[in-house]
Chain A
Amino acid sequence: MSDLAPARLATISRMFSSSVIREMARRGKSPLFTRLVSESRLSTSISRSQRVSAVFDAAFSLLKREGCRDEYIYKTALTHNILLGKHSLNTASMLNEFRVGECKADIAILNGTSTVYEVKSERDSLVRLEKQIAAYSRVFAQVYVIGADNHADSVARLTPSDVGILRLNSRQQITTVREAADRPDWTSPVAIFECVRTDEARLILQRLGVPIPVVPNTKLSAALGELFIQLDARKTHDAMVQVLKKTRNLLPLSDLVAHLPRSLHSAALSVPLRRSDHARLVAAVNTPLETAMAWT
């Protein structure tokens, strides 16, 4: 098995980017996809009568080999094994690239509690890890780092013992190196307020029985922020989980996911799409490669 050149790997990774998915959903075709396929020379190994979905699957198999894996491979593993495996879209929701302070959490899953997963793939550095962990533990009860084996020792050294560590094996299975502690009482209501939307902050307060002040909408966010300062951490966290499970519910996407190849499930659950665009995305993915290679 020869190693792929980094530039080619990056090209293949981009096939799963939100730009490609969005183009396909909006226009039923993606010139960017066509360009990436020819640049990555994937088109030479796949018959032109095959569909676009086969190219995604082929690209995914290349990326999932150890040493080549990118963030998307890890996110897919979390999506399949945890969100859709251990839980389901009926019982859990997933947040993708969720902004927490100055950081963006790769994946967070909400079921009875909240769990955030920071991905450190073969291609990532650990420079920001400590800062990220500190920010995430103010919002989520459980914090995991999932990463490549070459990071394992450093991650264990850089993180406190209540932070969990996961690894992804060559068969796309997730194994636990260290369990995370469940610490909703360590979260911060102010940090939670800072990363949810104003309508969600209002729902959290309502759940906790706090009356909502009547002010013009330009003053609402500031007024709600004042109220969060006095809240109890565990109760606020639990209310946040319940609220976000509703406001960020992914169940309406289950039909879309069912019509897409496995390699695209994580992308479909992460890129916000208009409902009316779903059918177009499915059609684009089922286009024969022959046609797709002429997309402009």
Chain B
Amino acid sequence: MYHPYLRGKQYDLITVKEMAPLMATSGFRPIIEPVRETLTGLNKALDAVVAAHGQAIVIVNPHHGDLSGAGDSLTELLNGAYLELPSISAGILLKQETTLKEALECYENHKAHNPVFIHAGFGAPKSLAENLGEFTKNNRHVFLDNLSMKLYQKHFKGAFRVLVKDGFKRQKRNSDYPDLEPFSDLHATFSEEGMDGFGDFLIVGDEFSESGGPAYAVAIHLTFIDHEQDDMMFIYHFKSNQQATPKDPAGKFAEALAKMMAIVDAPGSKVLDTKAIKEFRALHEEGHYPGLGYVKKLSMNHHIETLADYFAHSA
């Protein structure tokens, strides 16, 4: 059903690890694109998925970060341990520059690994579908919304199809985010789009950046589903007041968090009281700043918990 797409940075992987049991019981299947050379975080995340009897897709030819263009070493690492397991699938990323030959080679190498195609701008869908023949139907196909048209997706009709749409509208500077904006309705509409599953890039967005440097404003991103508005998902952006210098991220976090708690704890709040929110509340009470990566992780956890709750109650 839900396929959260995560670039495997440290905290993305911790989210996968911590959310593994909930994702397993909810039938969620994370797609992980490894970006770090050290694979310990990835191993821990996948161990947690396996221990929870969950499922995951790991991209074996990543596009971003340390490992881009070095899929072979990654394949080597994964082949030994995880890809032999039926619950861990090999994700084959099909970019614009990927040739049909490369795609089919990668498929051949991972035929036994329950391969999933991630369509991200690939130029030869028809030939790929023809070459795969009947096998197409046994494979899962994930389409990145902005990179593949309906006509493209048609070639893979009959297979398990997943549409990934980036609900997060990234801004150049944190101070540019509106206080509140629509996020996505795909969780409520994917079956009407003829899809068997859906996904998003959580609250990070489909834009890979290595570091970004110190931020002048701190922003906490928080999603919620509005049952009074046809279950549309919205996102709050809570921003710090101080924005003139990159100094004092901790103090800025406290400012943003105070704004967030005022909304979350207001009577009739539409934000689900998740485990992540409880942790935010504890940080607010202690006046403690755990670091930006940790805050991002809490926002991601909250997003997954919110969607898990939605499907638990809509089924």
Interface residues of A (CB under 8 A from B): 22, 26-27, 99, 194, 197-198, 215-222, 276
Q: Is the CB of A99 within 8 A of B246?
A: yes
CA distance A247 to B151 in the complex (A): 57
Verify A217–B245 contact, CB threshold 8 A. Answer: no
Q: How many residues of B contact A (CB 8 A)?
A: 18
Q: How far is the CA of A22 from the CA of B212 in the complex (A)?
A: 13
On whether the beta carbons of B66 and A221 are closer than 8 Å, the reply is no
- Known A-B contacts A26-B66, A27-B68; the reply to A217 vs B250 at CB < 8 A is yes
Contact sample, A vs B, 28 pairs, CB 8 Å cutoff? A22-B210, A26-B66, A26-B210, A27-B66, A99-B245, A99-B246, A194-B245, A194-B247, A198-B247, A198-B250, A215-B287, A216-B287, A217-B250, A217-B287, A217-B289, A218-B251, A218-B288, A218-B289, A219-B251, A219-B254, A219-B287, A220-B250, A220-B251, A221-B247, A221-B248, A221-B251, A222-B248, A222-B251
Bound state CA distance, A27 and B70, in angstroms?
9
Q: What total count of A-B pairs have CB within 8 Å?
A: 42
Question: In the complex the two chains form, is B248's CB within 8 Å of A217's CB?
Answer: no
B250 and A221 form a contact (CB under 8 A) = yes
Q: Which secondary structure dominates chain B's binding surface?
A: loop
Q: Given that A26-B66, A27-B66, A27-B68 are contacting pairs, would A218 and B287 also be in contact in the complex, using a CB cutoff of 8 Å? A: yes
Min CB distance B68 to A, Å, is 7
Contact with A along B249-277 (1 / 0, CB 8 A): 01101100000000000000000000000
The closest CB in chain A to the CB of B255 belongs to A218
A219-B287, A222-B251 are known contacts; what are 10 more A-B pairs with Cβ within 8 Å?
A: A22-B210, A26-B65, A26-B210, A27-B66, A27-B68, A99-B246, A217-B250, A217-B288, A221-B247, A221-B251
Which residue of chain B is the closest to A219 with respect to CB atoms?
B287
Verify if B192 is at the interface (C-beta below 8 Å from A).
no
Residue B286 is within 8 A (CB to CB) of chain A in the complex: yes
Which of the listed residues A26, A215, A216 has the most CB atoms from chain B within 10 Å of its own CB? A216
Q: How far is the CB of A123 from chain B (nearest CB, A)?
A: 24
Instruction: Looking at the assembled complex, report how far the CB atom of A17 sits from the nearest CB atom of chain B, in whole angstroms.
Output: 15
Which residues between 288 and 315 of chain B lie within 8 Å of chain A, taking CB atoms? 288-289
Complex: chain B residue closest to A218, CB-CB: B254
Residues in A whose Cβ lies below 8 Å from that of B289: 217-218
Inter-chain contact B287/A198, CB cutoff 8 Å: no
Looking at the assembled complex, report how far the CB atom of A194 sits from the nearest CB atom of chain B, in whole angstroms: 7
B-side contacts of A197, CB under 8 Å: 247
Chain A residues within 8 Å of B66, by CB = 26-27
- Determine the chain A residues whose CB is within 8 A of the CB of B287 once the complex forms: 215-219
Give every chain B residue within 8 A of A27 (Cβ-Cβ).
66, 68-69
A216 touches B286 (CB 8 A): yes
